[in-house]
A and B are shown apart, each in its own frame.
Chain A
Amino acid sequence: MGNIIEFENVSFRYEADEEGQVLPLAVKNVTLGIEEGSFVAVLGHNGSGKSTFAKLTNAINIPESGKVTVNGLDTADENNTDEIRRTVGMVFQNPDNQIVATIVEDDVAFGPENLGVEPAEIRKRVDDALKAVNMYEFRNSEPYKLSGGQKQRVAIAGVIAMQTSCIVLDEPTAMLDPNGRKEVLATIKRLNRERAITVVLVTHFMDEAVEADRVVVIDNGEVYMDGTPREVFSRADELIAVGLDVPQATQLAKALNAEGIDIRTDILNEEECIRAVLELLKE
């Protein structure tokens, strides 16, 4: 399958502050493609430029130089903006600041209503979207009575109801508790698998990135690493150097390796770690 989003040598900087001081580039010479139907995790520490990168995908940020295209449409052309946002939906970090209506189902309907979809069709899409995120039974609830994880699922439903083919999530779990994080991650994975929706998950949680098909590490506005989770996490030292970390299972293998033990260092989870340790001790 082809790329749904394409970055060609993209650089971006925010507008100068009040004192007129020109700010440094927030994103530098990024060239990469997001394959249709894939699940890509974008990792980076706070201030690495990963959120700026996310906002370049659907024409909130317009490149200073280079070009971003969504299904071949240039994000710099204002005539394309509506079509691009119809293709790439976005979910933000703070669940409270993206829900606009006082009733869950009205909020999910907000996108399709803006697109001018027929009322009967909106109803169908809203019901379908709420079922897709397991929030159908809460359709008549008031958003402020929901938990953080539930609110984020409503936000995801709002994007699905617009029938977008790609969802970009900008640190959707940063403000959630472990249960909320699990709910949201499971929802994202299911949508990717069952509905072939392209997912770009911006995060700094390693355990979430492990679930992706591909991990892109951004540091200082540049693509620092790009590969499968196994490739990326085996380079633990480099990740730690850019303010990230690796799962404890990987850390253990790494530590043993440093002591001269011959154990593989591309371990991602506890099962793999247990197997590797058992093998090691059998010898």
Chain B
Amino acid sequence: MVRDITIGQYYPGKSLLHKMDPRVKIVLTLVFIVVIFLCKNFWSLGLMAAFLFGGICISGVPVKMLLKSLKAILLIIFITALLNLFYATGGKTLLDLGFAKITDKGVYTAIFMTVRISCLITGSSLMTYTTTPTMLTDAIERLLSPLKVFHIQVHTLAMMMTLALRFIPTLIEEIDKIMNAQKARGADLESGNIIDRAKALVPILVPLFVSSFRRAYELAFAMECRCYTGGNNRTRMKQMKLSLLDFGFVLGAAALLAGVILLNHFFVKLI
């Protein structure tokens, strides 16, 4: 049933990661991504992977769910690995296929890349699993608020994101209703060639657009009635405050960065 859908991929919980200030979480995720790219050998990458594994354990998000987010980009990982396997130059030749050579360096690089991309995706998924879409939107608005200096309407953008999140389930339900109504009139949505199928969408898209415009119109009235005049002079009920916990996480991230630099320095660089 449509009522059961969840937007985003939030996994409810009360872990330290869930409690972290969403602003800090976004910044640290960005830092994590940058540091992943700084890793030059298996030692430093291993440190990052271990750190990520620790994060997963703390979060309480089932590993199965995180693997699911990897599944979506399995093809990208596979292609990257394949390209690296064939195009990495140097090292001992393991297999000569004539048109291409597979070297031991190629194998190492392919494995390295696979681990790197997996860490990248798992790390950012971990953030979205532990933060509600609403908190993410709020945090983005606050993080970007310095851009106001350049007359960028940060609040408006955030409001649009919130409204989109709010209306996605409503519109999904609506599409479901319209599809059933047209199917009941014999609309054939499943067979025919591409052109037939595109044509079959008209009876669904037209009512959907008409109703979306009506909703937008009514929503604008409702917001006006509640004294909405844009972001100026607006306060927020939920304040974001940095806690000791957040400073702890920042320090942890700094230590990690130092570790990666050291490991890069003391061991042979792979790439």
CB within 8 Å of B: which residues of A?
Answer: 58, 60, 82, 85-86, 89-90, 92, 94, 96-103, 105-106, 109-119, 122-123, 126, 142-145, 158-159, 162
Residue pair A116, B226 in contact (C-beta under 8 Å)? no
Q: Of A96, A98, A112, which one neighbours B237 at CB under 8 angstroms? A: A112
- Minimum CB–CB distance for A2 against chain B, Å: 24
**Could you tell me the distance between the alpha carbons of A161 and B107 in the complex, rounded to whole angstroms?**
63
Residue pair A119, B218 in contact (C-beta under 8 Å): no
With A60-B224, A96-B215 already in contact, the answer to whether A114 and B234 are too (CB < 8 A) is: yes
Main secondary structure of the interface of B (DSSP, over half): helix
Instruction: Give the chain B neighbours of A115 by CB distance below 8 A.
Output: 227
Contact B222 A97 (CB under 8 A): yes
A119 contacts B235, CB within 8 Å? yes
Nearest CB on B from A101, distance (A)? 6
Cα(A116)–Cα(B231), bound, Å: 10
Inter-chain contact A144/B237, CB cutoff 8 Å: no
Report the nearest B residue to A126, measured CB to CB: B237
CB < 8 Å neighbour of B235 from A90, A122, A144: A122
Which residues from chain A contact B223 at a C-beta distance below 8 Å?
Answer: 100, 110
CB distance from B223 to the nearest CB of A (A): 6
Which residue of A110, A114, A119 contacts B229 across the interface (Cβ within 8 Å)? A114
State whether the Cβ of B180 lies closer than 8 Å to any Cβ in chain A.
no
CB–CB B3/A98 < 8 A = no
Among A98, A106, A122, A162, the residue within 8 A (CB) of B227 is A162
Which residues, 172 to 219 on B, are CB-close (under 8 Å) to A? 173, 214-215, 218-219
Task: Identify which of B162, B163, B235 contacts A116 (C-beta below 8 A).
Answer: B235
Asked if B238 is at the interface (CB within 8 A of a chain A CB), the reply is yes
Cβ contacts under 8 Å, A112 to chain B: 235, 237
> Which residue of B165, B219, B221, B227 contacts A86 across the interface (Cβ within 8 Å)?
B227
Is there contact, CB below 8 Å, between A144 and B229?
no
Q: Is B97 an interface residue (CB 8 A)?
A: no
Within 8 A of A (CB), among B212-257: 214-215, 218-219, 221-229, 233-239
Q: How far is the CA of A110 from the CA of B223 in the complex (A)?
A: 9
Q: Is A100's CB under 8 angstroms from B219's CB?
A: yes
- A105, B132: Cα distance in complex, Å: 15
Cα A224 to Cα B15 in complex, Å, equals 63
With A116-B235, A144-B169: A111-B3 Cβ-Cβ less than 8 Å: no
Q: Is the CB of B222 within 8 A of A111?
A: no
Query: Considering the chains assembled together, what is the distance between the CA atoms of A142 and B165 in angstroms?
Result: 11
**16 A/B residue pairs, CB under 8 Å, sorted by A:** A85-B224, A85-B226, A94-B215, A98-B222, A100-B219, A101-B166, A111-B226, A113-B234, A116-B234, A116-B235, A119-B236, A119-B238, A119-B239, A144-B169, A144-B170, A162-B226
A150 to chain B, nearest CB (A): 13
B226 touches A102 (CB 8 A): no
**Residues in A neighbouring B224, C-beta threshold 8 A:** 60, 85
Q: What residues on A are CB-neighbors of B221 within 8 Å?
A: 60, 92
